[in-house]
Amino acid sequence: MTAVITGGTKGIGLGIAKELLKNGFTVVATSRNTNEEFKKLSNEYPDRLLFIPCDISSFPDIENLVLQVKNKFEKIDLLVNNAGVAPKERKDILELNPEEFDYVTDINMKGTFFVTQKFVDLLKAAGSARIVNISSMSAYTASVNRGEYCISKAGISMITKLYAARLAEYGISVIEIRPGIIETDMTVKVKEKYEKLIADGITPIKRMGKPSDIGRCVAAIAKGDFDFCTGTVIDCDGGFNVRCL
């Protein structure tokens, strides 16, 4: 079984890679660059973990990624659209400029759409395959100081529904996972703020999530435990989605 994970070298993507490797998958991880933690994991799984550099905001990069995967594997069983960026600077939506907007949405939303489109033939070749899109609780939670990020994640929710409807005839399911507050490089600068919010009750489960929490959700989908589901959302967020009085 072969999986491709965009943004698979750190944070949530690396957590997903670790869980899939534990479950016997061969993993192709993509990102713009690699790092020491990923290299260490590669040494543990030299025959089942492959890195291919790719900037998913670049259409030629996407096409090159698909070609390399096709040449090596001919088909894939799982595509995990995880690659994403936060705004370089949190800025009020009244001050946001087009370049800042495009930086986030070109990777998070546009990149996810076209990576999926270009991998469809390799997913169809598997006979029965799965796509997992990693969005965020920001898909439905308004943060006016990072509106472009919220819009990009809301876009992934619709991308999930569109491809779920389009690809069901080929036996390809598409499921969205919405992480909550997860300990990654993206949240390290605001970790103290989030820990206080969690202590004050913003989530029923009083801890930040780990990349492995998301990884285990993806592994369950990859193993076929959700094969009667498509277009489905899984909230992996410590209960943030629960409205309480």
pLDDT at 244: 84
Output the tens digit of pLDDT for each of the chain's 245 residues.
Answer: 999 999 999 999 999 999 999 999 999 999 999 999 999 999 999 999 999 999 999 999 999 999 999 999 999 999 999 999 999 999 999 999 999 999 999 999 999 999 999 999 999 999 999 999 999 999 999 999 999 999 999 999 999 999 999 999 999 999 999 999 999 887 877 788 889 999 999 999 999 999 999 999 999 999 999 999 999 999 999 999 999 87
Its pTM stands at: 0.95
- For the residues of the chain, what is the DSSP string, one character each? -EEEEETTTSHHHHHHHHHHHHTT-EEEEEES---HHHHHHHHHSTTTEEEEE--TT-HHHHHHHHHHHHHHHS--SEEEE------SS---TTT--HHHHHHHHIIIIIIHHHHHHHHHHHHHTTSSEEEEEE--GGGTS--TTSHHHHHHHHHHHHHHHHHHHHHGGGTEEEEEEEE-SB-STTTGGGHHHHHHHHHTTSSSS-S-B-HHHHHHHHHHHHTTTTTT--SEEEEESTTTT----
Domains of the chain are: 2-236 (3.40.50.720)
Among 45, 103, 140, 149, the active-site one is: 149
Is 103 annotated as catalytic?
no
pLDDT at 245: 77
pLDDT at 184: 86
pLDDT at 201: 92
